[in-house]
Amino acid sequence: MPPGYFPIFIFLALAFVFPIAALLVAKLVRPDTPSLTKLEAYECGIKAASNSRGRYTVRFYIIAILFVIFDVETIFLYPWAVRYRQFGWFGVGEIAVFLAILIAGYLWAWKKGALEWV
């Protein structure tokens, strides 16, 4: 075995041992006093009204995906704003096209009724 692999094996051994040791130490140190309140799903004092595994409407997922898409696209504005002066008018044109596509997608989703909660 080449001697260059020895530090890698030490690292792998530590990567396996450390989480197991941390969990064992945490189990030994923590207080173990279960009660009815602690074993409930929520500790806010209000009993759960129904099963938490209920189905959600597809509209919820559509809103979530649209939020992620538009949020991630607007994050791309930050690097452009940092280098605004270096890009010149070409950069202004590029960001105008980018925002036009973003606004067109938003208007399309609005027209399709994807943003309605009713």
Instruction: Write down the domain spans for the chain.
Output: 3-112
Q: Give the whole-angstrom CA distance, residue 53 versus residue 49.
A: 12
Q: Give the whole-angstrom CA distance, residue 85 versus residue 53.
A: 52
**Which tokens is 115 given?**
């943003």
Checking if the pLDDT of 25 tops 90, the result is yes
Q: Which residues contact 70 (CB under 8 A, 6 or more apart)?
A: 102, 105, 106
Average pLDDT over residues 17-33: 92
Least confident of 15-19, 35-39, 109-113: 35-39
Is residue 71 helix, strand or coil?
A: helix
Least confident of 47-51, 74-78, 93-97: 47-51
Q: Quick one: CATH architecture of 3-112? A: Up-down Bundle (1.20)
Average pLDDT over residues 51-64: 75
pTM: 0.46
Q: Which residues contact 106 (CB under 8 A, 6 or more apart)?
A: 70
Checking if the pLDDT of 91 tops 90, the result is no
Which pLDDT score, from 0 to 100, does residue 58 have? Answer: 77
